[in-house]
Structure 1
Amino acid sequence: MTFHHKEFHILSSSDKSKLYCQSWTKSNSNRLLIFHHGFGEHSGRYTNLIRYFSKSDINFYSFDMRGHGNSDGKRGHSDSFDLYVRDLADFVSEVLKREQKERFFLLGHSLGGAITLRYSQEGINQDNILGLILGSPALRVRMDFRKKLKNLLLVF
């Protein structure tokens, strides 16, 4: 069975920005995966991933984060990281209403991975997350890199 592709918009609860959303669904699917793209990307970039799972029983949902793809906002800009997290929370709530499901998986890549991770720690639906898939999440490493590099170079 093939996916039914739909495009729709939601309004961000924080500032009413219009966020472009997509779904790839099958009527008999039991599982739900919500994925979040990285910086400079858009939800349509993941169609190969969707095709790969075409025989699965997973419904896929994604959206273009503000300032990316077909969503509102200055390209590549957000006033705060928290806006990204709130947008994801709004999107997850909308998807759960559409799917009439409570449990879901989250996939995030790069900046989307960092947003997904923060959402999983703070989100209103965090107890309903079945699992996180983080692809190269944009996480900050807490160490003085220059000092470590200097010490490493002194060895040579």
Structure 2
Amino acid sequence: MADARSHVLAGTRGALHVHAWPHPRPRYAALLAHGYGEHAGRYAGVAGVLGAHGAVVYAPDHAGHGRSAGERVVIEDFEDVVSDLHAVAGLVRAAHPGLPLVLVGHSMGGLVAARYAQRHGDGLTALVLSGPVVGAWELPGRLLALDEIPDTPVSPAALSRDPAVGAAYAADPLVWHGPMKRPTLQAFARTLATVAAGGDVGALPVLWLHGADDRLVPLAGSRVGVERLTGTGGDLTERVYPGARHEVFEETTRAEVFADLTGFLDRVLAR
């Protein structure tokens, strides 16, 4: 796959840095939404798999993350992040009119992707949620009840059983290694409630990927949100990986995860 290119868009909170992995003859486009405290550059492996599968791939650094503008890891309103993602989708459609569009969201990006599907689902061909922050996620309420947010960063060991993944995360200068911030926690709590009340995504095909040993976003809490999002008659494909931690795309079983991802997309794109 070709090296990533960069675009800069005017986001809702300032300059939005967008990674783009081109493809000479794409059969679909993929839009990636990364997780809390990280950046889209960590998804080069995912982009490579999707590129080999026929996708042109775009992924913004969300506001306050990576190379995008904003105070580090401060998101005051996730609706703005959804709007930023929609602006990137507009960039994709301008460059590749008529291509099916697949949205992939991991962790916090899963919350953004779920809300995006509620607002703009008619423009999507499929939705992929990896360890998504939807449903019953207790962390924001627990931290907001404290007078002071503890300086407890994400543990690299919680990401994957592959120690190289944690080591790279710990050494990455674009990853936030400090405490969570109160405005972001408040925004998480509000948006979890908004997505819960926002209705299902109808017949949109959804692939849900989750590590059974995910301690950052526990499986049981996400299940509540995913099942509500897909509804009783929805098109949901579920894959839970025994022993896997939070980042299933970076797990020791990543080959199985990517096979499940591309197999799902083959089924959806063949319709």
- Structure 1 alignment gaps of length 5 or more: 144-156
The CA distance in 2 between the partners of 1:141 and 1:65, in whole Å, is 23
Counterpart Cα distance in 2 of 1:40 and 1:4? 23
Pairing 1:105-116 to 2, within 5 Å after superposition: 105-116=102-113
Which of these residues, 63, 72, 75, is aligned with residue 72 of structure 2? 75
- Number of aligned positions between the proteins: 138
Compute the TM-score of the two structures, normalised by the length of structure 1. 0.81
The answer for the alignment partner of 2:37 in structure 1 is 40
Compare the two structures and name the one with the higher helix fraction. 2
Mapped contact 1:33–1:59 kept (Cα < 8 A): yes
Judge conservation of contact 1:37–1:108 (CA < 8 Å) in 2.
yes
Moved over 3 A (4+): none
> 1:5-154 alignment to 2 at 5 Å?
5-12=4-11, 14-15=12-13, 17-101=14-98, 103-123=100-120, 126-141=121-136
Report the identity percentage.
26
Q: Tell me how far apart the structure 1 counterparts of residues 137 and 22 of structure 2 sit (CA, whole Å).
A: 40
| Whole-angstrom distance in 2 between the partners of 1:94 and 1:113 | 21
CA displacement 1:87-122 (0-9 Å, x = unmatched): 111111122112223530000000111001101101
Which 5+ residue runs of structure 2 have no aligned equivalent? 139-271
Select the structure with the greater relative contact order (CA < 8 A; seq sep ≥ 6): 1
Moved more, 76-85 or 108-117: 76-85
What does residue 152 of structure 1 align with?
none
Task: Answer whether contact 1:102 1:128 (CA < 8 A) is retained.
Answer: no
Specify the code of the residue in structure 2 equivalent to 1:135: S
